[in-house]
Amino acid sequence: MKVRYAALAITAAIGYGSGGCGNSGSNAPGSGGQAASVGGSGVGSSGGPAGSMGGSSSGGGSATCTPAGVTACGGSVTGSWTIASSCISVSGEVDAQKQFGLTCPIGQVSASLTVTGTFSVKADGSFVDGTTTKGPARIELPPACLMLSGTTTMCSKIAQVVQGYDDLTCVPSASGGCSCTGMVNQKGSMGILSQAPNADGFLTTANNSITITQDNSQYSYCAAGTTLTVTPTSTKPVISGTIVLQSSTSGGGGSGSGGAPGTGGTTGSGGNPSTGGSGPSGGSSSGGQPGTGGAGTKGEGPCDIYAAANVPCGAAYSMVRSLSSKYTGFLYQVRNGSSSTNTGTGGMTKDIGQLSDGYADIAAQDAFCTGSVCTVSVIYDQSGNKNDLTRGSKGPTGNGTRSGENDYESSATKLSVTAGGHKVYALYMNQYEGYRTALNVTAKGVPMGNKDQGIYELVDGTHFGTQCCWDFGSVSPDPNKYVTMNTLFFGKGFWDSGAGTTGPWFMGDFEGGVWAGGSAAKADQTNPSNPAMPFPFALGILHTPVGKYALRMANIASATDLTTAYDGAIPSGKTWGNAGGIVLGVGGDNSNNSYGTFYEGAVTNGSPTYATDLLIMKNLQAVGYKK
């Protein structure tokens, strides 16, 4: 997804009181907001009325936010903690790319927040953040924030896709940008406003500071006795105040007695070990041929169906199962012992094969990954064309916080489901994680130029982002070169939308916009025939024959037929430009601010018929996917 913007000088005045967020039954009036100047020399308007961000909160004793925050002293944060009190004030410039997934560099935010819930840390640095951050907030955005993918979006569209707020309303401002108000209601990333908050992950402590490795957010802290006090560390925006946590880790007590060891089943016969070569991103590779244990015989897969229909798989991927009865190779590769930031380097790698019925050899993966950070380093192409996916290469800067950096690898163990009666792992992708075919290498066996193509993918509709762009399909082999890309988008965006307002939707990302249907040159329409797909196992299909495209989808848990959201002319001015690159989880220019969960999918050489699409749906249903 190509994103263009012009840096515009603006003066934004945030007249918004910063009323108290203490523990008293009624708060004192808040002071007026300060005028904020961004890139201009004008004088902002006066602050808002006293107490305009105030509110009542329960508890005893009066308290206000302390600008100085915690007196940092370090200490051990290992254990279980419960929020005892909190008061956080947020004000000033905000990185609109990181915070909202926009393309403008600067906005303004003012908020008064409280935090509740629990926070636990294990000795290995892994944590679970069970906190909720709440409070009123105001956001001011300059006109440049409305420029997305070469088109101008609307303030109401921005309000629909910004996450972590209740009842967010954005209206045009006098500056030509947007003025937004709403209530923060965010799970995870305690006290730090985030478009993709961390409910779990890894952290490090050093120099009296806690660093969350996923996004490098930081807290000054002091752990003394049974009390842990933290202050989020941020300059854009400025955050002040404290969060006080009390230890809830039970002390003493003897070790509980474990049950008797279970009796293992008969071990399936595996292949002979072989010495692998170096992994594609560093680290040595090990593991033999795919094992032959497990029950059943491999059945027909989607690539068999497509081959019979004369539209063969040009590229096919799954961590769950073999997508062809003829494919006998590895499904994917995992890396253990890598850095906790999942940068795709170091550690050891292992290829994960398939059982005799085609499902992933999870026992081999679990044995390799136990006790280690484990990521997906390669997703092997099952079409036979060797269009393997590894972490994506950096694109141009300015399309998101880390689009100009190489992507991260995704967790290999984050989400397990059942398929074919087996435990299997999905590709659970977070923000900044993405996969792509090799840089500047043209994929084999896929359509090139203005030729017919098809795509199907099965995803988790309960895990989706609202930024650019969680895509699967055909792009340029070089993220710094633009083509009329041809990918299936899933989530919500700033462009077209489907039925309702909540999404998510399957749409076509064709460069310069994301289309939910229709042939309009500009993607800012609503297609009520494109249904929201918030289901654990959602099927999306995109056909792009010359001069046309079709979007179809189904909830495979209950569908008896496919829904056709659109089947008609290509957007005005477009010509398919298949260029031989394939992405999963990012845009064509490595716009990597969105996220989702992928089970399986394929790109076909040719455009399948509706009847073939139905066979694919029935094949997926026969797998018996379950959470």
| Residue 253 structure tokens | 């007590």
Is position 300 annotated as part of the catalytic site?
Answer: no
Cβ neighbours of residue 417 under 8 Å, at least 6 residues apart?
Answer: 320, 423, 424, 425, 426, 599, 625, 626, 627
Q: Write down the residue that tokens 């935010």 correspond to.
A: 109
Q: Are 302 and 315 in contact (CB under 8 A)?
A: no
Q: Write down the residue that tokens 């006795």 correspond to.
A: 225
The one-character DSSP state at 98 is H
| Residue 477 structure tokens | 């082999």
Q: Are 597 and 428 in contact (CB under 8 A)?
A: yes
Among the listed residues 304, 351, 460, 589, the single catalytic one is 589
The whole-angstrom separation of Cα 199 and Cα 569 is: 43
| Residue 349 structure tokens | 């790698």
The one-character DSSP state at 173 is -
Is position 457 annotated as part of the catalytic site?
Answer: no
Number of other CB atoms surrounding residue 51 within 10 Å: 17
Q: Concatenated DSSP letters for 535-584?
A: SSSEEEEEE--TTEEEEEEEETTT-SS-EEEEEEEPPTT----B-SEEEE
Q: Are 456 and 537 in contact (CB under 8 A)?
A: no
Pairing relationship of beta strands 165-172 and 178-187 according to DSSP bridges: antiparallel
From residue 155, how far is each of 209, 293, 522 by CA, in Å?
37, 56, 16
Amino acid 561 reads D
Among the listed residues 511, 524, 567, 600, the single catalytic one is 511
| Residue 597 structure tokens | 């969960």
Cβ neighbours of residue 257 under 8 Å, at least 6 residues apart?
Answer: none
Q: Are 291 and 268 in contact (CB under 8 A)?
A: yes
The one-character DSSP state at 251 is P
Q: Are 196 and 181 in contact (CB under 8 A)?
A: no
> Could you tell me how far CA 473 lies from the centroid of its own chain?
17
| Residue 83 structure tokens | 């929020």
Q: CA torsion sign, 499 to 502 to 506 to 509?
A: positive
Strands (DSSP E) found in 207-357: 209-212, 218-224, 227-233, 238-247, 284-286, 313-318, 332-336, 348-352
Q: Concatenated DSSP letters for 4-73?
A: ------EEEE---------SSSSPPPPPPPPEEEESS-PPPPPP--TTTT-----SSS-----TT-----
| Residue 181 structure tokens | 């108000």
The whole-angstrom separation of Cα 507 and Cα 514 is: 6
The whole-angstrom separation of Cα 528 and Cα 145 is: 26
From residue 446, how far is each of 128, 308, 452 by CA, in Å?
42, 17, 10
The whole-angstrom separation of Cα 327 and Cα 317 is: 11
The whole-angstrom separation of Cα 217 and Cα 590 is: 22
Cβ neighbours of residue 2 under 8 Å, at least 6 residues apart?
Answer: 149, 150, 399, 482, 511, 512, 588, 589
**Which sequence positions are flagged as catalytic?**
511, 589
